[in-house]
């Protein structure tokens, strides 16, 4: 009886452990290479933006450079055609740049630059451009076809909207 | 994260250059774990380059297989599983089998009870996302948040490591053009990222400056060593770029050393 109970607990533990294991493993070298081929130009482009972001000395400068990086990702989304997976991946990256790069730097710039100061006009112009960009970003994500029907593309669009909502309003 | 946990996770990684972000954050902030990670990476490189000794047993086995020819003489019986029945029928065996079955039923019932209470829509299958592209985006976002040269140096160090890991992942099957992309990226990270920020490190805290530069020099040394080792065993298509990467890493390391010595 005792042995049966032990066996029972062993199998139960084993089954629980096995079901908890993640089936996912890393990509194979061939998959990795395929992704490098698909994204090589975009990655080199982003790296260039990274260099310019790092060279920027003020939050306003950094926000401008982040906007440039966002534009690269928007172009990549437009080039993705009707491929929902690709659109979702790129839209999430675009949302990350806006949420973690553009919005916080624009918020800091807004706190530092006051009306009438030298940079205020520049910041105001950037603000207007960023607002206009959002409309274009949303348009870049297809609303019809295979991608338009995808719930994940809809989620990605929502994430992009949420990231856009983090961009602070201008102080009057 | 505790150091013990971090170090165990480092050991469990299939590729020590591909640590998750939270682990990398701990490692970059903890001198002990950094040293440990460097050791793990070195070990990984050394193990990969370890020569396999000749094995007489393997040679004899291969000879036997070759001598047997391509014909399979004995096919396994399709109904061989039925032979297990007499074994289970022996005293006590059924107890174990039924206990195992009961456990499986219990776990399955529990799982259905927990997950099957509300109707679920079938999720859309997700394609694999490109990890290096994700890291590039994170690099841009992190640089946008990094407002000092030490923080930017840290981000660029991570970017150099990401490229090293990617190189290791694909060098066996990549063509020269694909390797060139990685070479150009490494060049940019080292010359326009690391070296530029290293020049800007403030002199106000010499000890911190020395720590950062020494760590970055060690990282580039690891890249140099690894790409040099890989170039020795790489197929001709990727060899040239691996050698080029070694030269870039060596040059970057030498220039960083000059910056370090200048400030000393």
Q: Find the residue in B nearest to A12 (Cα).
A: B103
Predicted local distance difference test score (pLDDT) of residue B111 = 63
Name every residue whose Cβ is closer than 8 Å to that of residue B179 and which is 6 or more positions away in sequence.
B167, B170, B171, B237, B238, B240, B241, B242
Structure confidence at residue B9 (pLDDT): 78
Is pLDDT at B153 greater than 50 in this prediction? yes
Q: CB atoms < 10 A from the CB of A170, how many?
A: 15
Average pLDDT over residues A28-42: 94
Distance from C-alpha of A168 to C-alpha of A150, rounded to nearest angstrom? 30
| Residue B90 CB contacts under 8 Å (≥ 6 apart), including other chains | none
Mutation target vs A (from B144, B150, B190; most A CBs, 10 A cutoff)? B144
Please indicate, yes or no, if residue A43 is contained in any of the structural domains: yes
A154 occurs within a structural domain: yes
Quick check: A150 contacting B, CB < 8 Å? yes
Give the distance, in angstroms, between the CA of residue B39 and the centroid of all CA atoms in the same chain.
14
Structure confidence at residue B39 (pLDDT): 75
Whether the per-residue pLDDT at B77 is higher than 60: the answer is no
Task: Establish if A7 belongs to a structural domain.
Answer: no
> Is residue A13 one of the residues assigned to a domain?
no
Please report the pLDDT score of residue B194 as a whole number.
97
| CA A143 – CA B44 distance, rounded (Å) | 47
Question: Is position A44 within any domain?
Answer: yes
Of A16, A32, A66, the CB nearest to B144: A66
| pLDDT above 90: residue B141 | yes
Say how far residue B116 (Cα) sits from the centre of its chain. Answer: 37
Chain B closest-CA separation from residue A171 CA (Å): 22
CA quadruple B50, B54, B57, B60: dihedral positive or negative?
Answer: positive
- Cα dihedral A80→A32→B161→B246 (10° resolution): -110
| HSE of B64, CA atoms in CB hemisphere, 13 A | 6
Q: What is the model's pLDDT at position B43?
A: 64
> Do the beta carbons of residue B158 and residue B217 sit within 8 Å?
no
Is residue A172 a part of any domain in this protein? no
Residues in chain B within 8 Å Cβ distance of A101: 140-141, 144-145
For position B79, what pLDDT does the model report? 46
Distance in Å, alpha carbon of A8 to nearest chain B alpha carbon: 5
Using DSSP's 3-state secondary structure scheme, residue B211 falls into: helix
Length of chain A: 172
Domain residue limits at A151:
29-164
Instruction: Write out chain B residues lying below 8 Å of A54, CB-based.
Output: 143, 146, 152, 155-156, 193, 196-197
List the structure tokens of B53.
């000794």
Ranked by mean pLDDT, the top range of A47-51, B24-28, B65-69, B85-89 is A47-51
Q: What is the mean pLDDT of chain A?
A: 89
Cβ separation B130–A7 shorter than 8 A: no
Among residues A165, A54, A66, A169, which one has the least CA distance to residue A111?
A169
Scanning A64-83 for CB atoms below 8 A from B yields 65-66, 69, 73
More confident residue, B256 or B96: B256
The closest CB to that of B99, out of A11, A36, A38, belongs to A11
Give me the total of CB pairs closer than 8 Å, taking one residue from chain A and one from chain B: 150
With respect to residue A14, please indicate whether it lies within any of the assigned structural domains: no
Alpha-carbon span A8 to B95, nearest angstrom: 10
What's this model's pTM, rounded to 2 decimal places?
A: 0.68
pLDDT in tens, A117-171: 989 999 999 999 999 999 999 999 998 888 989 999 999 999 999 999 998 887 6
Q: How many domains does chain A have?
A: 1
Whether A71 maps to a domain, the answer reads yes
Residue with tokens 């960009």: A133
Interchain proximity A37–B178, CB inside 8 Å: yes
In this model, does residue B68 exceed pLDDT 90?
no
């Amino acid at each position: 009886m005792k042995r049966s109970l032990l066996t029972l607990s062993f199998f139960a533990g084993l089954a629980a452990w096995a079901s908890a294991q993640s089936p996912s493993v890393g990509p194979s070298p061939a998959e990795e290479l395929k992704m490098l081929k698909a994204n090589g130009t975009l990655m080199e482009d982003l790296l260039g933006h990274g260099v310019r972001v790092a060279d920027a000395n003020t939050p306003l400068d950094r926000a401008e450079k982040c906007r440039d990086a966002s534009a690269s990702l928007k172009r990549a989304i437009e080039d993705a055609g009707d491929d929902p997976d690709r659109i979702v991946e790129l839209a999430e990256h675009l949302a990350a740049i806006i949420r973690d790069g553009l919005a916080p730097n624009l918020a800091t710039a807004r706190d530092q630059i006051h009306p009438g100061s030298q940079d205020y006009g520049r910041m105001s112009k950037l603000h207007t451009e960023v607002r206009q960009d959002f409309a274009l970003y949303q348009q870049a994500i297809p609303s019809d076809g295979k991608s338009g029907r995808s719930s994940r593309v809809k989620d990605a669009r929502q994430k992009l909207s949420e990231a856009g909502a983090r961009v602070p309003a201008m102080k009057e | 994260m505790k150091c013990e946990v971090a170090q165990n996770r480092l050991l469990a990684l299939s590729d020590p250059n591909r640590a998750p972000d939270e682990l990398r954050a701990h490692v970059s902030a903890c001198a002990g774990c950094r040293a440990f990670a460097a050791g793990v990476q070195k070990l990984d490189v050394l193990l990969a380059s370890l020569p396999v000794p000749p094995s007489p047993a393997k040679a004899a086995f291969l000879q036997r297989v070759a001598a047997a020819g391509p014909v399979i003489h004995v096919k396994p019986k399709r109904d061989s599983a039925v032979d297990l029945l007499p074994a289970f029928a022996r005293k006590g065996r059924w107890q174990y089998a039924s206990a195992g079955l009961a456990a499986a039923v219990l776990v399955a019932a529990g799982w259905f009870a927990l997950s099957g209470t509300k109707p679920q829509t079938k999720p859309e299958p997700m394609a694999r996302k490109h990890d290096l592209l994700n890291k590039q985006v994170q690099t841009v976002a992190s640089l946008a948040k990094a407002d000092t040269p030490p923080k930017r140096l840290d981000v660029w160090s991570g970017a150099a490591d990401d490229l090293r890991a990617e190189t290791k992942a694909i060098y066996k099957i990549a063509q020269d053009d694909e390797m060139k992309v990685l070479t150009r990226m490494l060049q940019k990270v080292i010359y326009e990222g690391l070296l530029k920020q290293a020049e800007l490190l403030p002199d106000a805290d010499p000890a911190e400056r020395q720590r950062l530069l020494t760590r970055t020099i060690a990282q580039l040394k690891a890249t140099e060593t690894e790409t040099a080792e890989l170039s020795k065993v790489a197929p001709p298509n990727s060899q040239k770029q691996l050698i080029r990467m070694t030269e870039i890493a060596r040059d970057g390391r030498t220039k960083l050393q000059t910056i370090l010595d200048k400030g000393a």
